[in-house]
Amino acid sequence: MGIDPGYGRLGFGLISSDGRNNKIIDSGLIATTPQKCWEDRLYEVAVRVEAILKERKPDGVILEKIFFSRNQKTALKISEIKGVILYLAKKHKIPVLEFSPNELKLGITGYGLADKKQVQYAVKMLLKDKDISKFDDVFDALALALLGASHLVRR
């Protein structure tokens, strides 16, 4: 299960893979309302992610390593969301893998400096699905799931 934790939106993507064939099991977006206080938004993400983990029982949770941008407030909020996800994965005994943005791009496209369109194209080809969600967060989550699956299958 790939998860792209975001400040207001969290993308997730679950796939099955045997190392050659990949198939989307589920994907989507968890969006929280900015009008709610941060604690309520964090709790909502936790409840919804935990429900997916309980129902789907993934073999791994794959996250992108956080790189600090100019907006420290956003980076801190994303770190808090990521902390919730790490806690839930540990609680449910699900291993976690993390990749940097460049590792993700290299693993999916073969080029570590690929742009978003190149990553999206590769995800569509690897999943043999041209009608994947239009949200970047979901594409990123599916890309993480694909990269993670390739590592988990080799174990």
Residue numbers of the domain that contains 8: 2-154
What pLDDT, on the 0 to 100 scale, is given for residue 155? 57
Q: Quick check: is 55 catalytic?
A: no
Count of C-beta atoms within a 10 Å radius of residue 92: 13
Q: Is 136 strand, coil or helix?
A: helix
Q: Which of 64, 131, 136, 140 is catalytic?
A: 64
- Report the distance separating Cα 150 and Cα 146, nearest Å: 6
Q: Quick check: is 4 catalytic?
A: yes
Q: pLDDT 10s digit of each residue in the chain, 155 long?
A: 999 998 899 999 999 998 889 999 999 999 999 999 999 999 999 999 999 999 999 999 999 988 766 678 888 899 999 999 999 999 999 999 999 999 999 999 999 999 999 999 999 999 998 778 789 999 999 999 999 998 876 65
- Count of domains forming the chain: 1
The amino acid at 10: L
- Rounded to the nearest angstrom, the gap between the alpha carbon of residue 89 and the centroid of all alpha carbons in its chain is 13
What pLDDT, on the 0 to 100 scale, is given for residue 81? 96
What pLDDT, on the 0 to 100 scale, is given for residue 126? 94
CATH number of the domain within which 83 lies? 3.30.420.10
Q: Quick check: is 131 catalytic?
A: no
pTM, two decimal places: 0.93
What pLDDT, on the 0 to 100 scale, is given for residue 114? 96
What sign for the dihedral angle of Cα 85, 81, 38, 7? negative
Q: Which of 18, 80, 129, 137 is catalytic?
A: 137
**β-strand 2-4 against 22-31: which pairing, if any?**
unpaired
